[in-house]
Homo-oligomer: A and B are copies of this chain.
Amino acid sequence: MSRWQPDAQERLEHAALELFLEQGFASTTVPQITARAGLTTRTFFRHFTDKREVLFAGDDVTPAQMARLFTEAPPSLDPMTLLLERLGPGAVEVFAERSVDYLRRRRQVIDAEPALQERELRKFSLMARALKDGFLERGADELTASVAADIGVSAFRIGATRWIASDGTTDVAAEISRALFTLQQVVGRPDAAG
């Protein structure tokens, strides 16, 4: 085995996901993952702090990617237009390195394990904070920034979930747009029956 494993992280991710699906998250150990991937535990711990983090690799960059939505947007853009124009393309970038098949199987593992669900909720909470900070820096008041951040996280989460559930027959940016349009519909027609 060569010391330099350029695809080590991806091999560990796929091995871990296979084992989580085969025998459950709780029953899977780090040595089992490294054995399946044909790598050492030392390599594992160079990439991940524990087996839970394998499923959230790269997720820590999401808040930074969200923050980038703002630096690239003209200052005159109001929060909703910014989300409508930028959130979808931002999500495409976030998911660029993952196949829908990988994300669908990952979803299956997370749905079966409360500890993973809590980890995922924390991820979305960090994303909300990044979005809120971005709106505040653009001059929004505290309440508007909080509300707009929650809109962004909600549309991101709902859109990505629907995209993954569709097995990639739809498009993540299109699903996020649909979620935002649905929000406009729900909010904007307070007197319509539904």
Using CB atoms and an 8 Å cutoff, list the residues of chain A in contact with chain B: 76, 78-81, 84, 114, 117-118, 121-122, 125, 139-140, 143-144, 146-148, 150-151, 154, 158, 162, 178-179, 182-194
Query: Given that A121-B121, A147-B158, A158-B147 are contacting pairs, would A184 and B182 also be in contact in the complex, using a CB cutoff of 8 Å?
Result: no
Q: A147-B158, A184-B190 are in contact. List 5 more A-B contacts (CB 8 A).
A: A81-B191, A114-B122, A139-B194, A143-B179, A147-B182
| Tally of this chain's copies | 2
* A186 and B118 form a contact (CB under 8 A): no
Query: Given that A125-B121, A143-B158, A147-B154 are contacting pairs, would A183 and B187 also be in contact in the complex, using a CB cutoff of 8 Å?
Result: yes
Distance of A114 Cα from B118 Cα, bound (Å):
11
* B78 and A151 form a contact (CB under 8 A): no
Sort A-B residue pairs by CB-CB distance and give the 8 closest, nearest first: A78-B194, A150-B154, A121-B121, A187-B187, A118-B118, A80-B190, A147-B182, A146-B158
